[in-house]
């Protein structure tokens, strides 16, 4: 748009989205004069109205030039109420006959690419400074706009400050807004007062060039930051504050009448279907498919030549070899009717195959150990094992041979005896209780044993695997054996080493607590009370009960009325774990499971609110069967290593259980006079339970862990008598402080178990069990999961791929002097300084330097462990939360590499030193297996060029991959980044 008045011919640019005939532009002619103080005085000379999108012929001139008459006065007069509904207001203003403006309006398509840099409906001249546009030699940057190159960036840990404090700023803001609302006429009944309340603090974050936002701002919610905290907090802090000159981009307000909030609370909100944002952990299930793979003949020959001890029967004959790829028939009668009185189960760990992994070297790991639990035997932590690679056998790089496992002596040398690790479990009459053998055989037929593999040096988890136990069924033979090759899977929910003590620890503590509870009042008992106790023993019936975690034990107590008059008996239990079954349907369910022939009576119990227990009516001299159920979901969660690093562990010794402890439970049947009629004393002997699967979860310290575990699609374990078993899935947790629940979903939809675990300080480990029931009355758990939650100290790191970032950590000493060494889960991406072993005095503070240089963009979790190298104990553990960004690319290349033939391709890239002095540079790549450099370090004078030699490895299959080439300085800071797209064809 150009204007003409004498020599005044400016060119102005604007863009608008209001293409309406009623849209007009108001122009004011202003004269500027200098004042004595150097400032300028603006004086209006008139204004005019320009119709932009009119089709009236009288407005358009033949040559495209429009003549605009100037009116006296200020354009603010257009806001007068008399002109509100006026269509043509030109007749109401005096014309300035001596002055007029001629203008030409034209479309300017060249401005379209730069429209995002200019505000809408604002006139700009070509000599205005518009950030984002390159300067023009003609002086008019908008005539042919040239956009500058954009660079991506990321803001992390943005803190907004408000002066003088957050509380005072918001208080003053609310006072001003409320005062403005009070002075403004508002609709509503007279006398009502509306107040403004800050419900949420939002911030619009975007790139602004001084004229407008370049893109739609991103809206983030501000949370007050607690003083000294490293994470989010809901408490208000005086440190959370915006500078005095800063503006609030957006403020959410709630206008409500004062005092009316409690009068109208509104309707109850309807809950909507909700899916958690975190991906659930997938269980292996009871009937996990076989994970065995077939080794190469060279690998098998290498194993058999290592000299592992043979597995033989009692007569010294070699055990029959079973094929793990073939199904195993399960005949319970044939297994139970065998001539042998017991079973000796032997697990041999032979070898471990190293596989290439990102961030670790080819010789990782050097030493490993295993943790697992078989049946209800105590958990086992194996001794430290050395990985021995054969120097005599030639192997291909793509097909690594397994490393033979060898035990390590106390002095650190390799044991010269037979290689491998052998663990034995004896299941005979001394271990299995009466009637337990059939359950043990069913366990072997249906279950898998979960095994965790650890790096013994860093105490970091390498991965987990599971082996099917059905191949240990002898099927009438004297001895059988099977060779399994299992894949070790690395998951994102496993963690650091710890084990569980058997359940008898908890029973011991509970028993002692009950004994103390009973002994202290007994000291104050009188002789009469002592006689009463002796009389109560005469009406006491004792039962011995072997109980498993989560399994309901059903029993029937014969209650007889010894009187010649009717009695209403109250049933009272001193522990909710032992109670009477009052539901008729539940009673019938347990009678069917136990095949009890006693009669079932409808509505036998009378329940009253506030009563000490259910009541039952008995006729004179009548006897009835009272159904009782004992079921406990609680156990001890104290973790201790059952066997420790080979000092207490004998590889050839048989693992046995510790002697059980007993619990005392009592049910009292009280007559109408308040005196006991009968007492049922149940001596509970808890037995170790089976663990079907183990989960290890990493989580930041002092934070709630919220996790979902997906249930497996198992079948009904109790048979077809209850076809609706899938509709009655319920869960229980062994720790009452942990929330554990599952929700009923639509048929065919997967079902998850939701956990909410309270946090603990680092490096604490919380262990608990989750019991999953698939029957309505929870008779026995279908699966028991053992879950470890490892709470680690969280460290947030924001970095760029290929570039080294430094982070400081603080390691605090404990009570004793320790020799400590730090290990990382990805040594090629994280270096810890000091690198070797150092002495950590008591109560001392040691600063550690982390050098993080990742090669893959995205959010990742890495781990750093500080280990006591003498006692093989974890001192401190850190969880590194990496937010890795892609670098800014300087150049992009493309190359074609032929497929097959074993030949790669060589190329060259020229790099120019941008500095005036001589510099040394390092070459790095995110795919060192695909790209190698002729020289990884070079020195070049200032301003000179250097030719980078690239060697691309061959590929056996077609495809394409992008390889990033980093030119770093000696401090591993990236100077330039090149992207090379390699097409294999």
pLDDT tens figures, 323-365 = 888 888 888 888 877 777 788 999 999 999 988 777 788 888 9
Report how far residue 729's alpha carbon sits from residue 294's, in angstroms, rounded to the nearest whole number.
38
Give residue 438's pLDDT band: very low, low, confident or very high (50, 70, 90): confident
pLDDT at residue 615 tops 90 = yes
In our burial notation (b when 16+ CB lie closer than 10 A, e otherwise), range 15-45 reads: eeeeeeeeeebebbbeeeeeeeeeeeeeeee
Residue found by looking up tokens 């049947």 in the block: 669
pLDDT at residue 280, rounded to an integer:
64
pLDDT at residue 831 tops 90 = yes
Report how far residue 750's alpha carbon sits from residue 743's, in angstroms, rounded to the nearest whole number.
10
Q: Hey, what are 701's tokens?
A: 């310290």
Q: Hey, what are 709's tokens?
A: 């575990």
pLDDT at residue 277, rounded to an integer:
46
pLDDT at residue 188 tops 70 = no
CA-based nearest residue to 701, from 765, 747, 613 = 765
pLDDT at residue 124 tops 50 = yes
Positive or negative torsion for Cα 880, 885, 887, 892:
positive
pLDDT at residue 920, rounded to an integer:
95
pLDDT at residue 531, rounded to an integer:
54
pLDDT at residue 512 tops 50 = no
CA-based nearest residue to 24, from 53, 3, 63 = 53
316 dihedral zone (left: phi>0; alpha: psi -120 to 50; beta): left
**Highest averaged pLDDT of the listed ranges 16-25, 232-241, 637-646:** 16-25
Positive or negative torsion for Cα 528, 531, 537, 539:
negative
pLDDT at residue 966 tops 50 = yes
Report how far residue 658's alpha carbon sits from residue 707's, in angstroms, rounded to the nearest whole number.
34
Cα dist from 554 to 312, 627, 684, whole Å: 42, 7, 13
Give me the mean pLDDT over the 897-901 stretch: 80
Contact criterion met (CB below 8 Å) for 954 and 903 = yes
Q: Hey, what are 133's tokens?
A: 């546009």
Three-state DSSP class for residue 584: helix
Range with the poorest average pLDDT among 236-240, 821-825, 908-912: 236-240
Contact criterion met (CB below 8 Å) for 754 and 708 = yes
Give residue 283's pLDDT band: very low, low, confident or very high (50, 70, 90): low
pLDDT at residue 836 tops 70 = yes
Contact criterion met (CB below 8 Å) for 198 and 170 = yes
Contact criterion met (CB below 8 Å) for 77 and 92 = no
pLDDT at residue 682 tops 80 = yes
Positive or negative torsion for Cα 73, 75, 80, 83:
positive
Three-state DSSP class for residue 647: coil
Contact criterion met (CB below 8 Å) for 407 and 422 = no
pTM: 0.64
Report how far residue 528's alpha carbon sits from residue 547's, in angstroms, rounded to the nearest whole number.
36
More confident residue, 233 or 28: 28
For residue 183, count other CB atoms closer than 10 A to its CB. Answer: 7
Report how far residue 592's alpha carbon sits from residue 586's, in angstroms, rounded to the nearest whole number.
10
| Per-residue model confidence as pLDDT tens digits over 739-766 | 999 877 777 778 889 999 999 988 888 9
CA-based nearest residue to 487, from 694, 297, 290, 328 = 290
Which strands sit side by side in the sheet containing 218-222, from one edge to the other? 218-222, 194-205, 250-257
Contact criterion met (CB below 8 Å) for 325 and 290 = yes
Range with the poorest average pLDDT among 112-116, 315-319, 528-532: 528-532
């Amino acid at each position: 748009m150009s204007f003409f008045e004498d020599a005044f011919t400016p060119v102005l640019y604007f863009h608008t989205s209001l293409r309406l005939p009623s849209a007009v532009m108001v122009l004011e002619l202003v004269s500027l004069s200098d004042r004595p103080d150097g400032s300028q005085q603006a004086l209006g000379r008139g204004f005019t109205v320009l119709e932009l999108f009119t089709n009236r012929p009288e407005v358009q001139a033949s040559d495209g030039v429009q003549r605009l008459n100037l009116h006296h006065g200020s354009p603010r007069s257009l806001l007068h109420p008399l002109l509100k509904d006026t269509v043509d207001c030109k007749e109401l203003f005096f014309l300035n006959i001596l002055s007029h403006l001629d203008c030409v309006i034209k479309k300017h398509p060249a401005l379209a690419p730069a429209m995002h840099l200019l505000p809408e409906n604002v006139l700009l001249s070509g000599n205005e400074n518009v950030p984002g546009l390159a300067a023009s030699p003609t002086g008019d940057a908008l005539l042919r706009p040239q956009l500058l190159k954009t660079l991506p960036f990321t803001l992390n840990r943005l803190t907004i400050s408000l002066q003088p404090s957050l509380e005072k700023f918001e208080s003053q803001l609310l006072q001003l807004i409320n005062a403005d609302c009070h002075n403004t006429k508002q609709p509503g009944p007279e006398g009502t007062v509306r107040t403004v309340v800050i419900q949420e603090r939002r911030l619009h974050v975007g790139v602004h060039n001084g004229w407008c936002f370049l893109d739609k701002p991103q809206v983030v919610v501000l949370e007050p930051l607690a003083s000294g905290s490293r994470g989010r907090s809901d408490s208000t802090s005086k440190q959370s504050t915006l500078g005095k000159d800063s503006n609030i981009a957006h403020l959410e307000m709630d206008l409500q009448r004062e005092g009316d909030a409690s009068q109208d609370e509104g309707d109850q909100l309807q809950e909507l279907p909700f899916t958690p944002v975190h991906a659930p952990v997938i269980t292996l299930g009871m009937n996990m498919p076989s994970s065995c793979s077939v080794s190469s003949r060279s690998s098998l020959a290498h194993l058999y030549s290592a000299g592992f001890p043979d597995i033989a029967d009692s007569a010294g004959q070699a055990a029959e070899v079973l094929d793990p790829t073939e199904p195993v028939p399960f005949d319970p009668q044939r297994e139970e009717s065998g001539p042998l009185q017991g079973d000796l189960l032997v697990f041999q760990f032979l070898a471990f195959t190293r596989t290439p992994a990102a961030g670790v070297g080819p010789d990782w790991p050097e030493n490993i150990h295993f943790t697992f639990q078989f049946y209800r035997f105590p958990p086992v932590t194996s001794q430290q094992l050395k990985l021995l690679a054969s120097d005599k056998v030639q192997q291909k790089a793509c097909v690594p041979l397994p490393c033979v496992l060898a035990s390590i002596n106390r002095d650190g040398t390799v044991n010269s005896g037979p290689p491998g690790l052998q663990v034995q479990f004896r299941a005979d009459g001394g271990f299995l209780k009466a009637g337990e053998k059939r359950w043990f055989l069913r366990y072997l037929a249906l279950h898998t044993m979960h095994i965790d593999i650890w790096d013994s040096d860093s105490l970091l988890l390498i991965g987990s695997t599971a082996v099917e136990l059905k191949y240990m069924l002898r099927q009438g033979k004297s001895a059988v054996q099977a060779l399994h090759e299992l894949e070790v899977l690395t998951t994102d929910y496993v963690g650091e080493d710890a084990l569980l003590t058997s359940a008898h620890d908890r029973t011991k503590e509970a028993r002692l607590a009950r004994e103390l509870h009973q002994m202290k009042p007994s000291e104050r008992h009188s002789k009469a009370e002592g006689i009463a106790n002796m009389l109560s023993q005469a009406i006491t019936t004792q039962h011995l009960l072997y109980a498993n975690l989560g399994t309901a034990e059903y029993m029937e107590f014969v209650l007889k009325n010894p009187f010649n008059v009717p009695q209403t008996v109250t049933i009272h239990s001193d522990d909710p774990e032992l109670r009477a079954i009052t539901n008729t349907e539940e009673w019938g369910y347990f009678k069917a499971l136990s095949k009890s022939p006693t009669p079932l009576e409808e509505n036998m119990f009378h329940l009253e609110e506030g009563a000490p227990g259910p009541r039952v009516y008995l006729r004179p001299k009548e006897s009835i069967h009272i159904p009782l159920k004992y079921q406990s979901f609680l156990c001890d969660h104290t973790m201790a290593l059952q066997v420790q690093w080979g000092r207490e562990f004998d590889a050839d010794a048989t693992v046995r259980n510790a002697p059980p402890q007993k619990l005392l439970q009592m049910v009292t049947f009280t007559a109408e006079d308040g005196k006991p009629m009968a007492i049922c004393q149940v001596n509970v002997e808890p037995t170790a339970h089976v663990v079907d699967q183990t989960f290890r979860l990493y989580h930041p310290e002092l934070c709630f862990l919220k996790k979902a575990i997906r249930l497996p699609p198992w079948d009904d374990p109790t048979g077809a008598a209850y076809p609706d078993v899938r509709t009655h899935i319920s869960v229980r947790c062994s720790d009452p402080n942990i929330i554990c629940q599952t929700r009923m979903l639509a048929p065919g939809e997967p079902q998850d178990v939701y956990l909410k675990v309270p946090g603990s300080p680092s490096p604490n480990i919380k262990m608990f069990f989750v019991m999953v029931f698939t029957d309505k009355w929870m008779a026995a758990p279908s699966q028991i999961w053992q879950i470890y939650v490892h709470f680690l100290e969280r460290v947030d790191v924001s970095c760029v791929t290929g570039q080294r970032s430094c982070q400081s950590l603080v390691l605090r000493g404990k009570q004793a002097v320790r020799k400590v060494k730090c290990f990382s889960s990805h040594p090629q991406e994280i270096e810890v300084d000091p690198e070797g072993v150092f002495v950590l005095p008591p109560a001392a503070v040691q600063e550690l330097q982390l050098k993080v240089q990742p090669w893959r963009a995205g959010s990742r979790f890495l781990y750093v462990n500080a280990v006591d190298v003498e006692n093989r104990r974890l001192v401190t553990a850190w969880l590194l939360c990496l937010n890795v960004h892609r670098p800014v690319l300087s150049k992009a290349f493309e190359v074609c590499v032929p497929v097959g033939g074993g030949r790669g391709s060589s190329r060259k890239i020229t790099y120019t030193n941008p500095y005036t002095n001589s510099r040394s540079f390092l070459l790095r790549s995110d795919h060192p297996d695909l790209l190698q450099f002729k020289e990884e370090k070079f020195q070049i004078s200032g301003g000179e060029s250097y030719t980078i030699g690239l060697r691309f490895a061959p590929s056996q299959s077609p495809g394409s991959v992008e390889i990033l080439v980093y030119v770093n300085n000696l401090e591993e800071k990236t100077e330039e980044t090149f992207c090379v797209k390699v097409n294999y064809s």
